[in-house]
Amino acid sequence: MTTINKKGLLILVFFLLTFTLKSQSLLWIIEGNGLEKPSYLFGTLHTVCKKDFKWDSKLEDVCAYTKRVYFEIDITSIAEFIRYAKASKVQDENYSLRKLFSENDYNLIQKFFKDSLRMDIADFDNRTPLFLIIRGSGLSVKNICKKTRSYETKLAGYYPPSLYFPGKVEGLENSYDREKILRKIPLQRQAEILLNEVKNTNKITESEEKLYNDVVKEYFEMDIEKIRNSNMEKSIYPDLEKVLLDDRNQFWMSKMPILAAQKSTLFAVGAAHLGGEKGLVNLLKQQGFTVRPLSLNMKGF
C-alpha cells in the first residue's frame, strides 16, 4: 500500500469514528448505493463578516481526501462569468427592464444602483430584474461589517487546478441552468421583488443587523432543519424561495448521484439546501444512499 493510499485510508477511518448522533451538523458523509468511496456534503454560508468566520480543520481533511469540489456554480471560472452575463439577457427585442416599472420607481432603482454599486442599470436594460437582485445581493452584509469572507472561496483554495488534474472545482449548475430555473418566476413578479428590495436596503437598520446576527447564530448551531425552516418562515418571498431551494435541489439531484459514483466528491452548497423534506440530505436518502452527519467544531479563524 502506498503512502498516499495509507493517508487516504487513515482519513476515511478518522471520519468513520467522528459521527455525531445528532442531525446538527453542516458536514455529511454520503455512502452506500454502490459507491466505492464516500462523498461529502457541506452546508456553507455564502457571505459572512470576517470577524464571524469559523473553521474546522476536518474540512481540510475532507478536501485532502476528495478529488474535487462541486459548488452551486463554478466560482473560479471566467468562462462562467461571461456565460452568466449572456444567460441573463432576455431574448425578446420588445423587452425592456424600464417598462416593468413606473418612471418614479425606475428612477429610485437606478439611483440605488448608481450610489451603491456605481452601476448604471440603463446599460442592462435587456436583463431580468433577478439579474440586478443577484448583483446587489450581499450589500447589506458588506455594509454591516465591511470585510467579508466566503466559505466557497476558502474551500476552492484547497483544490488548485493543475495540468494533470483539471476540473477540481465545478458547478452543479451553470448560468444557463440557473437562469432557466429562475425564469419560473414571472418577470413582473421579479420586478416587484427588486423594487421591494431596493426600498428595504436604502439604509442599514437595526432590524437588518439583528437579522444578520440571527442568521449567523443559527448557522453555527448547525441544525439544518432549523436553518431550512427559519429561511422559509422569515422569507417574504415564498415563491422565490421555493424556486431557489426546492427546484434547484431537484435539478442538482439529477447530477449528484452520478458525480459521486465517478469519484469521491465534496458538494458544498448553501446550508438552507440541506434540511427539510425536499432538502439534499433527504433526497439523497430517497435515492438509496446512507447519509450521516459528522461532528464539526467550528472555531474562530
Backbone phi, psi, residue 44, to 5°: -105, 170
Tell whether the torsion through CA atoms of 238, 244, 250 and 251 is positive or negative.
positive
Distance CA 256, CA 39 (A): 10
Query: Which conformational region is residue 294 in: left (phi greater than 0), alpha (psi within -120 to 50 degrees), or beta?
Result: beta
Q: Between 220 and 67, where is the model more confident?
A: 220
Distance CA 52, CA 30 (A): 28
Most confident option among 75-84, 200-209, 224-233, 275-284: 275-284
Per-residue pLDDT, averaged over 147-155, amounts to 93
The per-residue pLDDT of the chain, averaged, comes to 86
> Could you tell me what percent of the chain has a pLDDT over 90?
61
pLDDT of 38 above 90: yes
> Quick check: 9 and 277 in contact, CB under 8 A?
no
pLDDT of 165 above 80: no
pLDDT at residue 53 in the model:
95
Q: 41: closest CA among 277, 278, 275?
A: 275
Per-residue pLDDT, averaged over 87-95, amounts to 89
Q: 99 burial class (0-12, 13-18, 19+ CB within 10 angstroms)? A: exposed
pLDDT of 83 above 90: no
Per-residue pLDDT, averaged over 151-162, amounts to 89
pLDDT of 104 above 90: yes
Per-residue pLDDT, averaged over 82-87, amounts to 84
Tens of pLDDT, residues 263-293: 999 999 999 999 999 999 999 999 999 999 9
In order of 28, 129, 246, the CA distances from 134 in angstroms are 28, 9, 18
pLDDT at residue 167 in the model:
61
Tens of pLDDT, residues 5-29: 444 444 444 444 444 445 689 999 9
Q: 37 burial class (0-12, 13-18, 19+ CB within 10 angstroms)? A: middle
Q: Between 102 and 235, where is the model more confident?
A: 102
> How many Å from the N-terminal Cα to the C-terminal Cα in the chain?
35
Structural element, H or E, at residue 180 = helix 175-182
pLDDT at residue 14 in the model:
42
> Quick check: 12 and 65 in contact, CB under 8 A?
yes
Q: 24: closest CA among 212, 219, 291?
A: 219
Q: How confident is the model at residue 82 (pLDDT cuts 50, 70, 90)?
A: confident
